[in-house]
Amino acid sequence: MIENSYIRTFCITSLLSGLLVMNGCATNPVTGKSELRLVSQTEEIKIGQKSYLPTRQSQGGEYRLDPELTRYVNEVGQKLARVSDRSDLPYEFVVLNNSVPNAWALPGGKIAINRGLLLELGSEAELAAVLGHEIVHAAARHGARSMERGMLLQLGIMAASVATAGEKHADLMMGAAVIGSQLANTRYGRNAELESDRYGMKYMARAGYNPQEAVTLQQTFVRLSKMRETNWLEGLFASHPPSQERVDANRKYAATLPKGLKTGRQEYLQHIATLKSTQQAYADYDAGRKALSEGDAGRALTLARKAIRQENREALYYGLQGEALLKMGNPGQAKSLFDEAIRRNDAYFAFYLQRGLARQKMADQAGARQDLELSVKLLPTAIAHYTLGTMALNAHNEESAITHYRAAAASGSPLGQQAAISLATLELPRNPDKYISAHGKPDNKGRLFVQVRNRAPIAVSRVVLGIQYRTGEMDKVPVRDTIPAGKTVTLRLPNPGDKVQHIKVVRAAPAQ
């Protein structure tokens, strides 16, 4: 008889072979190098589209105070995209409402730049250098290649653990293909950064921009990295570390490109004039958010109001004021501020999330549910799903509660751990063998000992085992001990082990 582990290994090998047949080796469209390809262009585009909205939402949402600035950034980006080596990708460029200096690209050409980075640039050519660099990350498949390395790693894990993985290899493969917003924070390797610099300058020259501005910008980044400013270290430098090696390589390559091309300092300064004029208001807002995170709601409220006096069109300021009031125990006033925020920006998840929490405290369950569900559509969060689960449970809708608790539990956060407890409490009586396993182990005298393991995050009691005998008869054997979370108890069955055909868990309940 062929061993199960051999069969599983063969299946995994076949799976990998199938992936290679479907995609296999291909030529990189930017570098011309031959590379293994497991993610097709169609898949790249789908991944980018799926990840784009939640990634934008998780990093401040879109900057809406000056739509003309976003149009300008998109115009510069599209000029570069048209002369790139993958001009057929559906490129999009957006400005995010975030003070951290950063920019990122998702597979398929979805590119974002934070307003915080725009304030640090000094010319249209420097903007082109940043966007061109990100275009190369998308065009040269740097994000896709990172995903492919992850897929190969997962396949390697499966091959190494087939003896114990059972039927879970399908889940591992699915997990390797699921890409979230963490792609935006991928730390690219040395070669990928050098490639993006080199081909980004090439695209700059093709589009009529002075590539020397990319060298100057890299020199600035190296200087700033030595100063170790926190906002830079948590932003662009976290995923795109600067180095003197990059400066030297860029200077050498720029010398081979055309001279006298566009710099565009005056045009750029004109386009970021509104951003410059509101810089202090955003600084006050950022200080208010920091105060709120440190538990000082009063100072957060003061800083939010100060920011509003400087610029009353920005929705974030009203949202911060509402969060501070909610923290101070004034849900009614907080709701009014979230109303103001939504009037100014109706496409940001945080305003609906916070208004939903305020409405819940006001006993407006229908309004709370509506807001929380809207927030989840924009960006699923543990707190929204957990709150919706609790509301569903209070309304005696256990199926809906289970759905939301399951989603919250997947986050792995402290609140997700609490959701996992609530989920287990609901599911355990319905589906005990999801959380409790029972395995028989005979000794040398033919007696059968059963190990009962509790995989639930809660203690369980009133466990009953169903013992199926070869004769067709069945016994129900109670486990008299309470089993703590993650623990195992052992009991001896009354009949000889050779008479037992199957053991299953038929009943269990959360310990009182």
Q: How far apart are CA 243 and CA 248, in angstroms?
A: 9
Looking at the chain, the whole-number percentage of residues with pLDDT higher than 70 is 82
On whether residue 199 sits in a domain, the answer given is yes
Residue 389 located in a structural domain: yes
Q: Which of 41-45, 287-291, 322-326 has the lowest mean pLDDT?
A: 41-45
Residues 354 and 497 in one domain: no
22 falls within a domain: no
pLDDT number for residue 13: 44
Residues 437, 412, single domain; the answer is no
| Domain that residue 204 falls in | 34-270
DSSP strand pairing (500-510 vs 460-469): antiparallel
Q: Which two tokens stand for residue 99?
A: 């003070």
Mark whether 249 and 308 lie in a shared domain. Answer: no
Integer angstrom CA distances of residue 108 from 52, 111, 207, 239, 406: 10, 9, 21, 18, 31
pLDDT, average across residues 14-38 = 64
Position 156: which residue type? G
Beta strands, E only, 13-73: 25-27, 34-36
* In a shared domain, residues 139 and 262: yes
- First CA to last CA distance, the chain: 48
The partner residues of 460 in beta bridges, in order of sequence, read 483, 510
Does the residue 59 lie in any domain? Answer: yes
48 or 342: whose pLDDT is higher?
342
CA distance 50 to 415: 25
- 325 and 390 share a domain? no
Measured distance CA(165)–CA(162) in Å, rounded: 5
CA-nearest of 95, 64, 98, 58 to 341 is 64
Q: What is the pLDDT of residues 36-92, one digit of tens each?
A: 777 788 888 888 888 899 889 989 999 999 999 999 999 999 999 999 999 999 999
The answer on pLDDT for 159 being more than 70 is no
Residues 48 and 191 in one domain: yes
User: Does the residue 266 lie in any domain?
Assistant: yes
CB-based contact 286:294 (threshold 8 Å): no
Given 364, 399, 430, the domain boundary residue is 430
Could you tell me which residues come within 8 angstroms of residue 404 by beta carbon, excluding any fewer than 6 positions away? 385, 386, 388, 389, 392, 419
Backbone angles phi, psi at 172, to 5 degrees: -65, -40
Same domain flag for 68 and 191: yes
The answer to which of 36-50, 104-118, 328-342 has the lowest mean pLDDT is 36-50
Instruction: Categorize the per-residue pLDDT at 441 as very low, low, confident or very high, splitting at 50, 70 and 90.
Output: confident
Q: What is the pLDDT of residue 5?
A: 42
Q: Do the beta carbons of residue 385 and residue 351 sit within 8 Å?
A: no
With 70 as the cut, is the pLDDT of residue 239 above it? Answer: no
Residue 1 in domain? no
Quote the mean pLDDT of the chain.
85
Decide if 502 is inside a domain.
Answer: yes
Q: ∠ CA 350-355-358 to the nearest 5 degrees? A: 130
**Domain end (from 221, 240, 270):** 270
218 and 327 in a single domain? The answer is: no
Q: pLDDT tens-digit profile of 170-195? A: 222 222 223 434 555 566 667 778 88
- Assess if residue 99 is contained within a domain: yes
User: What is the number of alpha carbons within 13 Å of residue 276 lying toward its C-beta?
Assistant: 9
How many domains does the chain divide into?
Answer: 4
The model's pTM is 0.85
243 and 288 fall within a common domain: no
> Is residue 105 located within the same domain as residue 203?
yes
Model confidence at 443, in pLDDT bands (50, 70, 90)? confident
| CATH number for 487 | 2.60.40
82 and 198 housed in the same domain: yes
Query: What is the pLDDT at residue 358?
Result: 98
Lowest-confidence segment of 7-16, 177-186, 450-459 by average pLDDT: 7-16
Question: What CATH number did the domain enclosing 302 receive?
Answer: 1.25.40.10
Given a cut of 50, whether residue 157 has pLDDT beyond it is: no
Between residues 327 and 229, the one the model is more confident about: 327
